Amino acid sequence: MRIYSFCVYLFLYTPIAIIALFSFNAGRHASQLQGFSGKWYGRALDNPFVMDALETSFLVAFASATIASVLGTLAAVGLQGIRGPARALFDAVIYIAVMIPGIVIGIATLIALVTVFDQINPWLAALWPEGGAPPTLSMGVGSLIAAHAMFTMALVIIIVRARLSSLERELGEASADLYATPFGTFRQVTLPLLAPAILAGFLLSFTFSFDDFIIAFFVAGSETTLPIYIFSSIRRGVTPEINAIGTMVMGASLVLLIIAQLILRRGDRR
Partner 1 sequence: MTQRERNWLLVAPAAGWFLVMLVLPLSVVFIFSFGERGAAGGYVPAFTFEQYANLPARFTAFQNTLILAPLGTLAAMLIAYPLAYQLAVRTDPKWKTILLVLVIVPFWTSILIRSYAWIYILGGRGIPALIEAMGLGDVQLIYTPFAVLIGIVYGYLPLMVFPIYVSLDRLDKRLLEASSDLGAPPLATFFKVTVPLSIPGVATGCMLVFILLMGEFLIPLLLGGGKVFFVGNALVDLFLQSRNWAFGSAVAVMLIVIMLVTVTVYMRLIARLHTSRDDVSVM
Q: Give the total of residues touching partner 1 (CB under 8 A).
A: 87
The string of DSSP codes covering 197-224 is HHHHHHHHHHHHHHH--HHHHHHSTT--
Q: Report if residue 72 touches partner 1, rule: CB under 8 A.
A: yes
Of 96, 120, 124, 125, the residue at the interface with partner 1 (CB under 8 A) is 96
Q: Report if residue 69 touches partner 1, rule: CB under 8 A.
A: no
Q: How far is CA 142 from the centre of its chain?
A: 15
- State which residue, 31 or 222, has the beta carbon closest to partner 1: 31
| Subset of residues 13 to 42 that bind partner 1, contact rule: CB under 8 A | 13-16, 18-19, 22, 30-32
Tell me the C-alpha distance between 188 and 203, whole Å. Answer: 23
H helices of the chain, where? 2-23, 39-46, 48-80, 85-99, 102-127, 141-166, 169-177, 182-185, 191-211, 214-219, 226-236, 240-269
- The C-alpha torsion from 190 through 191 and 196 to 200, rounded to 10°, is 120
| Subset of residues 108 to 147 that bind partner 1, contact rule: CB under 8 A | 108-113, 115-116, 146-147
Of 163, 230, 240, 244, the residue at the interface with partner 1 (CB under 8 A) is 230
Q: Which region, judged by CB under 8 A, interacts with partner 1, from 123-131, 173-181, 191-199, 252-260? A: 252-260
| Subset of residues 141 to 180 that bind partner 1, contact rule: CB under 8 A | 146-147, 149-150, 153-155, 157-159, 162
Least distance from partner 1 to the Cβ atom of residue 94, Å = 8
